[in-house]
Structure 1
Amino acid sequence: MARNPERRTALVDAAIEVLAREGARGLTFRAVDAQAGVPAGTASNYFASRDELFTQAGSRIHVRMAPDPDLVAEVMSPEPSRELVTGLMHWLVRRMTEERTGYLAFLELRLEATRRSALQAELNRAVRAELDATVDFHLNAGLPGDADTVKVLYLAMTGLLLEHFTLPEVLSETELGDLVATVVERIVPAAPR
């Protein structure tokens, strides 16, 4: 197997682009080579199998979709409140919309994980770690609600984003921003008076 880490990352990023555009069935070594603009056969020199390529894409997708820590610090400057959580959820939707390719690839990876045990193990590990980190972040920041609040908010926002990216007309009678605000209002407790 080839050992150039920059090229390996570029190939995994190309795989994510292919997943978003063509779905899991379109993820072939040839398609990755074409997307990355490298000679035919390059991807197969870096990955032993499609399973490994899927698993590496599952590991990389979280790196691509993670927010910049400096921006997180900036966004977290107001006092902890339900309004701040609403702002964070609006920011999440904006970030996912800007990283549409990554989010669509992530959805493809989640579906493919039902058929590939190594990918499922990687996504279980990565998503669980992200969820645990999100719960810790929420609690340590003094945002309203408890760990269950964060988990329910996670589930609601995951569903909202799934609908937004795959069937946007289903909820088209309500602005996306209004839906985000309603989700937070219904899940996150208001500050005591």
Structure 2
Amino acid sequence: MTQRGNRRELLADAAIDVLAREGGRGLTHRAIDRAAGVPEGTTKNYYPNRGALFEAIAHYLAERHTAALEALCEQIPDDLEPDDVTALYAAMLRRMSGSARTQFLALFELHLEGVRNPEVRKMLGEISRGNVDTAVRLHAAVGRRLSMRGAGLLDAGMLGVAMATLSLPEELVGELGFDDDEAVSRALLTLARSRGDAGLEVLRDSAG
């Protein structure tokens, strides 16, 4: 692995790779040292325990994700259409199980750690809030109102579908239609734009 940026960034990238590949149990100082190509003991000098490792990964992912969302919002075109928003979320789903698979596998592991680690939970909250705020802004750009509750449902739905796509048998993913990124995105956006009890009715209808 080639070194990128400073030592902390190098270790954070390596830690994400290890966490995605080996899971929480495999996240050790030695494994990160090997993945980063640094002398044994280097990671422990920066992050003395496993809690610190998880927190460092959470901070790093949150910073990168926030920066990406800010760049996206700064580049919203004036002629954005509702179909463009659907296409954007479909592309996000493809990235979650494709080019960004490593980052999202690490993110899922962080959600488990966040149950017990308040600092990790805080960083996950920043990621989710950024997703919610961005969804509201994208809808406003096409003249549609989206509540925070609706945006939260959208964020949770995207995460859930991505997790199912990565963890369920491939044939079941196909049977459920989770491999149709555009259709899933359109359904999630429809649910998100529903408000109050109407939103719950949509959820009940889709489940029944």
Deviation (angstroms), 1:157 = 1.4
- Which 5+ residue runs of structure 2 have no aligned equivalent? 195-208
Give the structure 2 partner of residue 111 of structure 1.
Answer: 112
Distance 1:154 1:43, change over 3 A: same
Is the partner of 2:173 in helix, strand or coil?
Answer: coil
Distance 1:71 1:119 in 2: 24
TM-score where L is the length of structure 2: 0.75
Distance 1:154 1:119 in 2: 18
Range that drifts further, 48-57 or 137-146: 137-146
Distance 1:106 1:48 in 2: 21
Give the structure 1 partner of residue 153 of structure 2.
Answer: 152
- 1:15-54 alignment to 2 at 5 Å? 15-54=15-54
Deviation (angstroms), 1:112 = 1.4
Distance 1:6 1:161, change over 3 A: same
Distance 1:186 1:81, change over 3 A: farther
Query: Which structure dedicates a bigger proportion of its chain to helix?
Result: 2
Distance 1:21 1:131, change over 3 A: same
Is the partner of 1:146 in helix, strand or coil?
Answer: coil
Deviation (angstroms), 1:29 = 0.5
Range that drifts further, 136-145 or 162-171: 136-145
Runs (4+) off by over 6 Å: none
Deviation (angstroms), 1:145 = 3.0
- 1:6-155 alignment to 2 at 5 Å? 6-65=6-65, 67=68, 76-77=76-77, 79-96=79-96, 97-124=98-125, 126-138=126-138, 140-147=140-147, 148-155=149-156
Deviation (angstroms), 1:166 = 1.3
Q: Percent identity?
A: 31
The RMSD of aligned alpha carbons is 2.6
Give the structure 1 partner of residue 180 of structure 2.
Answer: 176
Tell me the matched-pair count.
Answer: 183
Distance 1:71 1:187, change over 3 A: closer
Asked if the contact 2:132–2:151 (Cα under 8 Å) also holds between the matched residues in 1, the reply is no
Asked if the contact 1:82–1:188 (Cα under 8 Å) also holds between the matched residues in 2, the reply is no
Distance 1:169 1:108, change over 3 A: farther
AA of the residue aligned to 1:88: L
AA of the residue aligned to 2:180: L
Higher relative CO (Cα under 8 Å, sequence separation at least 6) belongs to 1
